[in-house]
């Protein structure tokens, strides 16, 4: 029998932000936690005509309340929630939470079991701590960006995947899970501090260690795994699409040559002799250009050549590629992402009916959407009795302060 997702029953407050903080909240929601986002007050929030969704698209299974944290009554509402939640996600720059009257030390006094997950870009104690930044800046000062890019060209930022998500939200999620494990032993929560400098630096552990070896001791773009090696690269095909080659081991390289119809002697020497790489790359380039991607896929499918098509997201969506939870738990899988019937769904695909959009599209989350229902479930609250809406945000009324926690 399938068990509930492992985080079922956990209550999360997520202060609205973009990218890493919401991603940590998304992972928590996917594995069963109830996540309530705290948005800024908005004139039409909590009305029959709510405001449009915010720019945050990582809102799967989340609800929202709009709160004016500059209002004493709005702040009082948040403080009254604290004793009844498990996790609070803070996406702000250092000091912002403290200035708003929600110092983590105070929050832990209100709820000693609380886990306060703090997500920053730069280190909290570093020289850049008070500066604005984005993914590209965080991986730059972490020494990661300098490793990415083609030979003879400038460093190349790979979207915002490395800093915001791998080294940011993903690491923050891991920190929350570690704190939950510790809470099982001690009964106490704690502050979790994640930042994208340390997170992305840690993600680059293998390349950093390899920089002391022949694997990665050359200039950017000239090494085995950074585009310098011809049998670990991408190649354009006859129809303008691409194939990805990762034939690092000798037996895989042999299978690659066989599929391409290239005799080993045409390589001009040992394959790990970097002097052979320019000619080898040109040979591979011309060969891949001779057939379409589909033709190459037909040749290499089912082989150990480590040669696969480079699919675009739109292709995968059109083909019905199913989006799945980030990891499979066989007995207690996370919630399904792909929309469809719940019965008979394999654990790898998650449990439940999935969500509208199947992980390809999202309608986002409107400030105030669904949040009052969550407050009713968590606290037994109702509008007018326990809280009210003033100037587009929820605020506590006198009865909230006297309610039992």
**Phi, psi (deg, nearest 5) at residue 248:** -75, -45
Residue 164 a catalytic site member:
yes
Choose, from 39, 86, 135, 164, the residue flagged as catalytic: 164
Which 3-state string (H, E, C) describes the chain? CCCCCCCCCCEEEEECCCCHHHHHHHHHHHCCCEEEEEEECCCCCCCCCCCCCCCCCCCCCEEEEEECCCCHHHHHHHHHHHHHCCEEEECCCCCHHHHCCCCHHHHHHHCCCCEEEEEECCCCCCCCCCCCCCHHHHHHHCCCHHHCCCCCCCCCCCCCHHHHHHHHHHHHHHHHHHHHHHHHHHCCCEEEEEEHHHHHHHHCHHHHHHCCCCCCCCCCCCCCCCCCCCCEEEEECCCCCEEEEECCCHHHHHHHHHHHCCCHHHHCCCCCCHHHHHHHHHHHHHHHCCCCHHHHHHHHCCCCCCEEECCCHHHHHHHCCCCCCCCCCCCCCCECCCCCCCCCCCHHHCECCCCCCCCCCCCCCCCCCEHHHHHHHHHCCCECCCEEEECCEEEECHHHHHCCC
Contacts of 100 (CB under 8 A, 6+ apart): 69, 70, 75
Active site (catalytic) residues: 164
């Amino acid at each position: 029998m399938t068990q509930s997702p492992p985080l079922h029953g956990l209550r999360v407050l997520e202060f609205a932000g973009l990218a890493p903080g919401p991603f940590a909240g998304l992972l928590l929601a996917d594995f069963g936690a109830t996540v309530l986002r705290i948005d800024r007050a908005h004139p039409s929030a909590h009305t029959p005509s709510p405001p449009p969704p915010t720019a945050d698209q990582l809102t799967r299974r989340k609800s929202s309340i709009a709160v004016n944290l500059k209002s004493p009554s709005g702040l009082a509402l948040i403080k009254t929630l604290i004793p009844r939640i498990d996790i609070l996600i803070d996406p702000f720059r250092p000091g912002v939470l403290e200035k708003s009257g929600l110092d983590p030390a105070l929050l832990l006094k209100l709820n000693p079991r609380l886990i306060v997950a703090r997500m920053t870009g730069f280190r909290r104690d570093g020289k850049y701590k008070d500066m604005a930044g984005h993914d590209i800046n965080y991986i730059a000062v972490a020494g990661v960006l300098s490793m990415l890019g083609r030979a003879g060209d400038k460093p190349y930022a790979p979207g915002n995947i490395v800093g915001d998500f791998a080294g940011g939200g993903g690491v923050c999620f891991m920190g929350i899970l570690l704190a939950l494990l510790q809470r099982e032993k001690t009964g106490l929560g704690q502050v979790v501090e994640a930042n994208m400098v340390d997170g992305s630096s840690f993600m680059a552990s293998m390349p950093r260690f390899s920089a002391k070896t022949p694997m990665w001791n050359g200039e950017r773009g000239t090494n085995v795994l950074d585009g310098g090696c011809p049998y670990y690269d991408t190649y354009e095909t006859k129809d303008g699409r691409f194939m990805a080659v990762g034939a690092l081991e000798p037996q895989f390289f042999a299978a690659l040559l066989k599929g391409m119809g290239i005799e080993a002697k045409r390589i001009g020497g040992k394959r790990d002799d970097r002097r052979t790489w320019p000619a080898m790359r040109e040979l591979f380039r011309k060969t891949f250009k001779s057939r379409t991607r589909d033709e190459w896929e037909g040749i290499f499918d089912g082989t150990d050549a480590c040669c696969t098509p480079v699919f675009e997201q739109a292709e995968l969506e059109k083909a019905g590629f199913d989006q799945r939870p980030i990891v499979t738990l066989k007995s207690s899988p996370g919630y399904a992402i792909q929309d469809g019937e719940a019965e008979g769904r394999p654990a790898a695909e998650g449990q439940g009916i999935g969500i509208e959009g199947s992980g390809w599209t999202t309608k986002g989350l409107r400030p105030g959407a669904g949040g009052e229902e969550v407050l009713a479930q968590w606290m037994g609250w109702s509008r007018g009795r326990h809280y009210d809406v003033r100037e587009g945000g929820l605020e506590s009324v006198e009865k909230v302060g006297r309610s039992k926690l």
